[in-house]
Amino acid sequence: MTQSFGVIGLAVMGENLALNVERNGFPVAVYNRSREKTDAFMEHRAGGKNVKAAYTIKEFVASLERPRKILIMVKAGAPVDAVIEQLKPLLDEGDIMIDGGNSLFTDTARRAHDLEAAKFTFIGMGVSGGEEGALNGPSLMPGGTQSAYEYLEPILTKIAAQVEDGACVTYIGPGGAGHYVKMVHNGIEYGDMELIAEAYDLLKNVAGLDHNELHDVFAEWNTTPELDSYLIEITADIFKKIDGDTGMPLVELILDAAGQKGTGRWTVTDALEQGVPIPTIIAAVNARIMSSYKTERMDASQQLSAPSVPFMGDKKEFINRVRDALYCSKICSYAQGMALLSKASKTYGFGLDLSECARIWKGGCIIKARFLGKIQTAFIENPDLPNLLLAPEFKQTILDRQSAWREIVAYAAKSGIAVPAFSASLDYFDSYRRDRLPLNLTQAQRDYFGAHTYLRTDKDGVFHTEWTDLNEESATKFTAP
């Protein structure tokens, strides 16, 4: 008996994906570098299931039906290359290698290029939804060799999360497209998480909500079409968890220094390379970096203070304004992420369908949310939409709610509560909507100190001025357009 699908790497993600594939009717072969993990898996979670263990790569490859479909689920980076090198001599033309880890998209592009040149087929697939998603239905973002996707589609559409308009998987595009979209998904996830953290800070430290109230507010928000989402849902749950030892809400005992594995930073780096502004996501990455300066912040808190502004307002009204500020900021954050995908699609030739990207994020992944349906619709109605802020629905929402948003950001500034992602989002909105920014002065400065030249609003051509020469006639030089 040959197996339909192979999984290499039996840490949490590989195990869960293998079980998901098997549960959906496809016999699975598994292999892990260290034998103990394979033995433990076979003895416990895979016991009695149609899973075949292999103890050498050769035995693993031989156990698979052709074309072989092999999911590599090992630590991103050099281990992926090591596994590919072990597989290459054993595979036949048309066999498919899939890297399902969080690989850097440029690594995936390189692997796809090299493997396709050597007549192999390769898929770089973003997998979102953590271990739970991997087991019960993740959001899958496969890119790479398009002909290979056709062989994988019957399996991937079964194991992915299901939403009302299909499975949360689609062919994303060539080369590193799948891992690029996953990377931006993670950048957006950073933005969402920071915005929620800032809402929590305001509700707790300005309006004085306790954990039961915080739970109720987030649970209520989770019933609304704009905020109903996995991250709001788990936030409501988190406020209910009480520490058994101290009787305190567990979240208050957790050290306020957030970790990161790199995908947020990669998103920021590529956005800077591409010249796409993503200030909310940058603020979210910076917030995690700042949080890691715990000892220094503890010391600074003894020396630096802000004015204390007692909360005099109506609690219910304040909560509603924080909700509006959160939603407007979230729209801006997604506008940035989608604009980055749009630019990357052109730069790297991915041919992305942005409505499909929004659709496959509606289930299975960490950013899954009802709101993504509105983004999907916006890009179906206008695939060339330059920015989500210009989609009729989002435009109207922000126009209706911006006064609450502005009040919250101003209130936070007056109270000394940092809201870097709320305010970066508002700055994004206010920069994007203005026909004239003060960067004319920046251009003048650049020309003054570096002769970088400038364009004018009233005449064609390129100009340079000797700014200290007061003779107007000779001071400005014009170059033909």
Binding site for ligand NBP (CB under 6 A): 9-14, 32-34, 37, 73-76, 79, 82-83, 101-102, 127, 130-131
Q: Is 374 annotated as belonging to a binding site?
A: no
Of 229, 183, 202, the C-alpha closest to 363 is: 229
First vs last C-alpha separation in the chain:
72
Smallest gap, in angstroms, from Cβ of residue 267 to ligand NBP? 15
- Nearer to ligand NBP among residue 18 and residue 217 (C-beta): 18
Smallest gap, in angstroms, from Cβ of residue 377 to ligand NBP? 28
d(CA 63, CA 24): 19
Whether residue 67 is preceded by a cis peptide bond, meaning omega within 30 degrees of 0, is yes
d(CA 226, CA 363): 16
Catalytic residue among 69, 182, 204, 374: 182
Q: Is 452 annotated as belonging to a binding site?
A: yes
Sign of CA dihedral 19, 20, 25, 26: negative
- Nearer to ligand NBP among residue 75 and residue 119 (C-beta): 75
- Nearer to ligand NBP among residue 82 and residue 380 (C-beta): 82
Of 4, 132, 12, the C-alpha closest to 73 is: 12
Smallest gap, in angstroms, from Cβ of residue 101 to ligand NBP? 2
- Nearer to ligand NBP among residue 186 and residue 425 (C-beta): 186
Q: Is 115 annotated as belonging to a binding site?
A: no
- Nearer to ligand NBP among residue 219 and residue 238 (C-beta): 238
d(CA 224, CA 365): 19
Task: Tell me if 220 sits within 8 A of 236, measured CB to CB.
Answer: no
Q: Is 179 annotated as belonging to a binding site?
A: no
Q: Is 76 annotated as belonging to a binding site?
A: yes
Smallest gap, in angstroms, from Cβ of residue 132 to ligand NBP? 9
Smallest gap, in angstroms, from Cβ of residue 85 to ligand NBP? 10
Estimate to the nearest angstrom the gap between the alpha carbon of 408 and the chain centroid: 25
Q: Is 248 annotated as belonging to a binding site?
A: no
DSSP 388: G
Q: Which residue is nearest to ligand NBP (CB)?
A: 101
Active site includes 189?
A: yes
Catalytic residue among 15, 22, 189, 198: 189
3-state secondary structure of 470: coil
- Nearer to ligand NBP among residue 14 and residue 173 (C-beta): 14
CB atoms closer than 10 angstroms to residue 429: 20
3-state secondary structure of 295: helix
Q: C-alpha angle 142/147/153, rounded to 5°?
A: 50
- Nearer to ligand NBP among residue 112 and residue 404 (C-beta): 112
Q: Is 227 annotated as belonging to a binding site?
A: no
3-state secondary structure of 461: coil
Smallest gap, in angstroms, from Cβ of residue 18 to ligand NBP? 11
Q: Provide the residue count of the chain.
A: 481
Q: Is 50 annotated as belonging to a binding site?
A: no
Report residue 454 as tokens: 């400038």
Cβ contacts of 307 within 8 Å, gap of 6 or more: 414, 415, 416
Helix (H) or strand (E) holding 481: none
Smallest gap, in angstroms, from Cβ of residue 92 to ligand NBP? 22
* Alpha-helical runs (H) found in 257-314: 263-274, 279-291, 294-301
Instruction: Cite the annotated binding site for substrate by residue number.
Output: 102, 128-130, 185-186, 190, 261, 288, 446, 452
Instruction: Cite the annotated binding site for NADP(+) by residue number.
Output: 9-14, 32-34, 74-76, 102
- State the catalytic residues: 182, 189
